[in-house]
Structure 1
Amino acid sequence: MSDEFAVLGDCVARERRSDRPALRHPPSGRAYDWRRFCTTAWKVGNYLRNEGVREGAVVGVAAERVPEPVLTLVGASMLGATVQFDPPKTGAQGDLKALVVPTARVGEYDHPAGTRYVAYGDDPADPSHAYFEREVWSENPTAPPDVVHPETALLAVEDRSLSHGTVLGAAREVAGEWGLDADATVAVRGPLTHPGVVAAGVVAPLLAGGEILLPDAEAAGDCAVLGPDPDGAPEPRTVAAGDVLG
């Protein structure tokens, strides 16, 4: 695990591309190796950039444990944008620059025209809503050129924001405690709305060059991050989200 990574986008640097597993979602059968994961995260960043997402913008993302929210987190982070998981259903002009949610849930949200709706899953019937899969597939597979700093906000959580440096610092502590390396698989068993889940379940394995597991009832990792009120898990090593970033 490298201590040189200062911001989340450093984890998907070009030299990290390989055929090793990076992200797995057993319920859908989808899996990304590090080559595809990096390239797709770059494409997501470039697409959001074309929609006007820049440093200081907020991107709302559904807190579903599927690949699209994870890829959006990394892609948006490369622009210096702040990600808010499960944002409010209604908002004012300027609250969200983009909203990335499943097509089936688009109707739950009422944000003004300045918010770009991006739906994933089924192709949205409303032509004003972008289709995540189509837009990302057609994008340039190169890393966005934006420069992001450790003090830049990465996550918006309730009434506070957490910087890249804060989240990566917490993730590095977890990765060190667990001894994560490129062979490790970390299961995400808590809600992405909690920053501790993001730090331990998403960022820690990315720092280590390992694999993020978005599990079903049958799949298990080497270790797992649980919610703030943890239930049991099949993994031999677990951490509660509140113990990472309370």
Structure 2
Amino acid sequence: MNTLGDLVARDRRSSALALRVPSLERDYSYHDFCTTAWKAGNFLSFLGVRGGGRVAIEPDPLPEPLLTFFGAALHGATTAFDPSDGDVRAVVVPQRRESEFADVPGTKRVVYGGPPTDPGVSHWEKEVWSENPAFPPTDVDPATAALAAGDDEYSHRELLRAADHVVDDLDLTADDEVVVRSSLAEPGVVAAGVLAPLSVGSTVVFPDLETDDSQGSVAVADADADVPERRRFLSTDVL
């Protein structure tokens, strides 16, 4: 695999489980996950997101932020899991935070988890589900930045190499369920908790970090976290 778009390529669609979100009672097969990532990419294109652009997203452990990340990656745009990140083409946040973000020229506002109160704000669920379930082929350079955190940027190539390291270190297989127990705001969590399992056909699990007691086979968590999984990976060990 050369770019993050390869993780949601057409030939990766299957009935296997890609994402499980017990707190919402929502599951995404690899078929659904890939197709929705394409639709998210088409929606971002409508908002004006292009290669070299930037998207700021709330780091919620939910499908909408993650699928927006992949939609941006399909364009060769850079994602910051930090809605306060400036100079972005689109900012994507939960509906409860809509009022915290003023209308800024050149930046499109998007909310998920409920319809917006401001007609100038887009509704993620409504717009993405109405998009074409296909995405035109794009030529993204693997050296292009896909993820940003503060002043640091990580290319498609760097993120996939980090994911490969996690796969080898944990001996991940398609039978694993990787529970993300740290924030997507940490690049290492994205690489270890999302990209690594998806690369081998495992299942990513987004639990409710406060109340959900779901258990997988691997946890991506902080060093001092008490987790039920037998295997644990520290995000700081990869990026």
TM-score band by shorter chain is over 0.9
Q: Which residue of 1 aligns with 2:219?
A: 224
Distance between the aligned counterparts of 1:13 and 1:88, measured in 2?
A: 31
- Say whether 1:195 aligns with 2:187: yes
**Partner secondary structure for residue 28 of structure 2:** strand
Distance between the aligned counterparts of 1:169 and 1:137, measured in 2?
A: 32
Which residues of structure 1 form unaligned runs of 5+? none
Q: Which residue of 1 aligns with 2:203?
A: 211
- Say whether 1:82 aligns with 2:78: yes
RMSD (Å), alpha carbons = 1.2
Contact 2:142 2:155 in 1 (8 A): yes
Task: Using the TM superposition, give the Cα deviation of residue 106 of structure 1 relative to its aligned residue in structure 2, in angstroms.
Answer: 1.6
**Partner secondary structure for residue 75 of structure 2:** coil
Q: Which residue of 1 aligns with 2:227?
A: 233
- Say whether 1:137 aligns with 2:133: no
Distance between the aligned counterparts of 2:99 and 2:151, measured in 1?
A: 25
* Counterparts in 2 of 1:132 and 1:21: CA distance versus 1, 3 Å: same
Deviations 1:149-195 (A, max 9, x none): 21000111111111011111011110111121222111100111100
Residue type at the aligned position of 1:41: A
**Partner secondary structure for residue 192 of structure 1:** coil
Question: Percent of pairs identical after alignment?
Answer: 47
User: TM-score with structure 2 length normalisation?
Assistant: 0.95
Q: Which residue of 2 aligns with 1:9?
A: 5
Q: How many residues align?
A: 236
Task: Using the TM superposition, give the Cα deviation of residue 111 of structure 1 relative to its aligned residue in structure 2, in angstroms.
Answer: 5.4
Distance between the aligned counterparts of 2:164 and 2:94, measured in 1?
A: 31
- Say whether 1:148 aligns with 2:140: yes
Task: Using the TM superposition, give the Cα deviation of residue 143 of structure 1 relative to its aligned residue in structure 2, in angstroms.
Answer: 2.4
Distance between the aligned counterparts of 2:18 and 2:25, measured in 1?
A: 14
Contact 1:78 1:144 in 2 (8 A): no
> Residue 42 of structure 2 is aligned with which of 34, 39, 46?
46
**Most deviating of 26-35 and 212-221:** 212-221
